[in-house]
Amino acid sequence: MSKVSMGTAMSLGLQTEDDLSKDEKKRTSSNSLRLDIQQLGNSIENAINLTDSPKPEIWHECVSCRDNHLQDDMIKTKCSHFYCKACLVRLFKNALRDESLFPPQCCKRPIAASERMLGSTLVQKHKEKAIELNDPDRTYCSNSKCAQYLPRKPTRNRICKCTRCGVRTCRKCKKGDHQGTCVYKLDALLEELADSKQWQRCSNCSRLIELSTGCYHITCFCKYEFCYFCGKRWKTCKCSFADEENLYERDA
């Protein structure tokens, strides 16, 4: 077959090799674009499906009650243990009643007071209790029917007024408002009992302390350390470290 010139091919409406190459490139580009659009659509659809799909439920065992609970209804402590809401609330309420349990701990590490788990009221009570227990010389309302903790104030007045019942209390001797020097005097029956039991008084906060077992080294609730035998500040006396009879718990 004889060769056809470029001009003849164009006049006859025939496609040259260059035209065929251009058409092929256009088709390839078009197919590639359709493929990219399809892949983009699939990616968007997958993303929507992932967003709409429910989160997998994660359960953990509560270290206190040993029941399994949803992770969203639990709190994780610093030691990686989990507490359910009911057990956590009970733990914090017990700490408010018994200062030996305050602050609530797990593996000797304090547990954060989560408002989401405990509620704002219990968290506020926890904060107030922390202030009370960190007071080295606590004062409580002298009205025995009230006994409300009386927070320290910047003025440091000797007499403070209870915001609950209105009774005035002396911060120094912890008794009701009075004139003159503070006098530490127990009720007759209590004084007799304290003498017979050989209880010791903390010279810092005036609490009566009873030693049942152990050495003479006493750390009072107010954090003051003293010798139970003589009452002086710890390590300032020459008393023996302990009485052997008190080192071990006696048989009932």
> For residue 146, what pLDDT is reported?
92
Q: What is the mean pLDDT of residues 219-248?
A: 80
Q: Which helix (H) or strand (E) holds 209?
A: strand 208-209
Task: Give the Å distances, CA to CA, from 238 to 200, 216, 225.
Answer: 17, 12, 15
Q: What is the C-alpha to C-alpha distance for residues 158 and 175, in angstroms, rounded to an integer? A: 11
Reply yes or no on whether the pLDDT at 26 is more than 70: no
59-134, CATH topology level: Herpes Virus-1 (3.30.40)
- Ranges in the chain annotated CATH 3.30.40.10: 59-134
Instruction: Name 200's Cβ contacts closer than 8 Å, sequence gap at least 6.
Output: 208, 209, 211, 218, 226, 228, 229, 231
What is the helix (H) or strand (E) element at residue 83, kind and residue range? strand 82-84
Tens digits of per-residue pLDDT, 94-153? 999 988 899 999 999 999 999 999 999 999 999 999 999 888 788 899 898 998 999 988
| 1 pLDDT more than 70 | no
DSSP 243: -
Q: What is the pLDDT of residue 120?
A: 95
Are the beta carbons of 68 and 61 closer than 8 angstroms? yes
Mean pLDDT (the chain) is: 81
How many C-beta atoms surround the C-beta of residue 42 within 10 A?
Answer: 10
pTM: 0.57
pLDDT in tens, 180-212: 887 766 667 777 888 888 898 888 777 888 888
CA distance 95 to 193: 30
| The pLDDT value given to residue 158 | 85
CB 139 within 8 A of CB 148: no
In the predicted model, is pLDDT for residue 227 greater than 50?
yes
